[in-house]
Amino acid sequence: MGERALVLGGGGVTGVAWELGLLAGLADAGLGLGGADVVIGTSAGSVVGAQLTSDTPLETLYQRQLAPPDGEIATVIGKRTVLTMAGSALVSPDVRTARRRIGRMALGADTGPEAERRKVIESRLNSHEWPRERRLLVTAVDAHTGEFTAFHSGSGAPLVDAVAASCAVPGVWPCVTIDGRRWMDGGVRSSANADLAHGFRRVVVLAPMALHSPLMPGPRQQADRLRRDGAHVAVITPDAFARQAIGRNVLDPARRADAARAGREQAPSVAPLVNDVWQGARS
- Give the length of the chain: 283
Q: Which residues are CB-contacts of 277 (< 8 A; sequence separation ≥ 6)? A: 202, 203, 204, 232, 233, 234
Helix (H) / strand (E) element for 107: namely helix 95-108
CB 28 within 8 A of CB 267: yes
**Residue 185 annotated to the active site:** yes
Question: d(Cα 16, Cα 241) in Å, to the nearest integer?
Answer: 17
> Catalytic one among 92, 142, 166, 185?
185
Nearest to 108 by CA among 140, 89, 80, 82: 80
Give the separation between CA 24 and CA 85, rounded to whole angstroms.
34
Work out the angle between the directed axes of helices 114-124 and 159-166 (0-180°, nearest 10): 110
User: For residue 56, which phi and psi values (nearest 5 degrees)?
Assistant: -80, 130
Given the residues 43, 46, 88, 191, the one annotated as active site = 43
Distance CA 21, CA 239 (A): 13
Answer yes or no: 191 catalytic.
no
For the annotated catalytic residues, the residue numbers are 43, 185
